[in-house]
């Protein structure tokens, strides 16, 4: 990853922040954007844009981290709730991908990483809005992987279970909630940002150079293993 140009959208907190730190340690040129950043690196993915300032001419890696957690019974969701989740998770990613496409095509081996959720695979109550949006992200991942393969652009997604990020504060707000979340996972704990960042780093690297169109289920075993 030395001197590779990596664009991270949402790099100021949670998984994005952990990823930026790991990339910088191994010598990557990191271009981090977020809504809370200042100056040229400020980017609100819910706004309309066709260009992103300060991008490198050649983009070797792109990671889209913005997401949402909006959980409640289906009958309490409004259409606006669904629109907001779709805007952040899907349309925001589409706008970023279109803005970065030219730079990605100039790389000799580019990698794009998006994020889904375990709720797409196993079905969880109260997740109708976010699971719908992330299901669209998985479809986008596979479609772009096929379309961009001739340009040597790999497109993959990571589908985590519950991870200790600012978005998950409502689900991990006290010791009882944390212990309950630990017990739901066969490996006995919920995720850490570094878990997801490490998997993302692998997908960005040449070690994953023959991998595209895949959904990497990084979830403590909850989607495929029945606990004892």
Cα 24–chain centre separation: 19
Quick one: angle between helices 79-86 and 128-148, nearest 10?
Answer: 30
Closest CA to 134 of 148, 119, 122, 123: 119
DSSP strands (E only) in the chain: 5-9, 29-33, 61-64, 110-115, 153-160, 215-218
pLDDT of residue 227: 72
pLDDT (mean) for 6-29: 97
How are the residues of the chain apportioned to helix, strand and coil, as percentages rounded to the nearest 5?
45, 15, 40
pLDDT (mean) for 14-34: 97
The token pair that represents 183 in the structure block: 């017990």
* Percent of the residues in the chain that have a pLDDT greater than 70, as a whole number: 100
Cα 51–chain centre separation: 20
Find the farthest-apart pair of alpha carbons in the chain and give their distance in angstroms, rounded.
51
Q: What is the overall mean pLDDT for the chain?
A: 96
Which range among 36-40, 71-75, 189-193 shows the weakest confidence by mean pLDDT?
A: 36-40
Cα-Cα end-to-end distance for the chain: 40
For residue 51, what are the CA distances in angstroms to 10, 40, 87, 101? 16, 12, 17, 11
CATH number of 5-218: 3.40.50.720
Q: Is the dihedral of CA 111, 15, 18, 221 positive or negative?
A: negative
The structure tokens 């709730």 sit at 81
pLDDT of residue 226: 84
SS3 175: helix
User: Which residues, other chains included, contact 50 with Cβ-Cβ below 8 Å and sequence gap of 6+?
Assistant: 95, 98, 99
User: Which residues, other chains included, contact 228 with Cβ-Cβ below 8 Å and sequence gap of 6+?
Assistant: none
pLDDT digits (tens, 9 = 90+) for 100-151: 999 999 999 999 999 999 999 999 999 999 999 999 999 999 999 999 999 9
């Amino acid at each position: 990853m030395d001197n590779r140009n990596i664009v991270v959208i949402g790099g100021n907190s949670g998984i994005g922040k952990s990823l930026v730190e790991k990339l910088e340690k191994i010598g990557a040129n990191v271009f981090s954007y977020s809504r809370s950043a200042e100056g040229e690196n400020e980017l609100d993915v819910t706004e309309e844009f066709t260009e992103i300032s300060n991008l490198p001419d050649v983009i070797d890696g792109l990671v889209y981290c913005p997401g949402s957690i909006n959980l409640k019974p289906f009958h309490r969701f409004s259409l606006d709730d669904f629109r907001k989740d779709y805007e952040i998770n899907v349309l925001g990613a589409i706008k970023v991908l279109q803005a970065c496409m030219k730079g990605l095509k100039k790389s000799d081996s580019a990698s794009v990483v998006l994020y889904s959720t375990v709720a797409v695979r196993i079905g969880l109550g109260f997740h109708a809005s976010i699971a719908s949006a992330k299901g669209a992200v998985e479809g986008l991942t596979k479609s772009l992987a096929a379309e961009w393969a001739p340009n040597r652009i790999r497109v993959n997604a990571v589908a985590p279970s519950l991870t200790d990020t600012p978005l998950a504060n409502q689900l991990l707000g006290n010791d009882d909630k944390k212990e309950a979340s630990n017990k739901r996972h066969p490996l006995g704990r919920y995720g850490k940002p570094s878990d997801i960042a490490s998997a993302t780093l692998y997908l960005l690297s040449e070690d994953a150079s023959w991998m595209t169109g895949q959904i990497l289920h990084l979830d403590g075993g909850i989607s495929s293993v029945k606990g004892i």
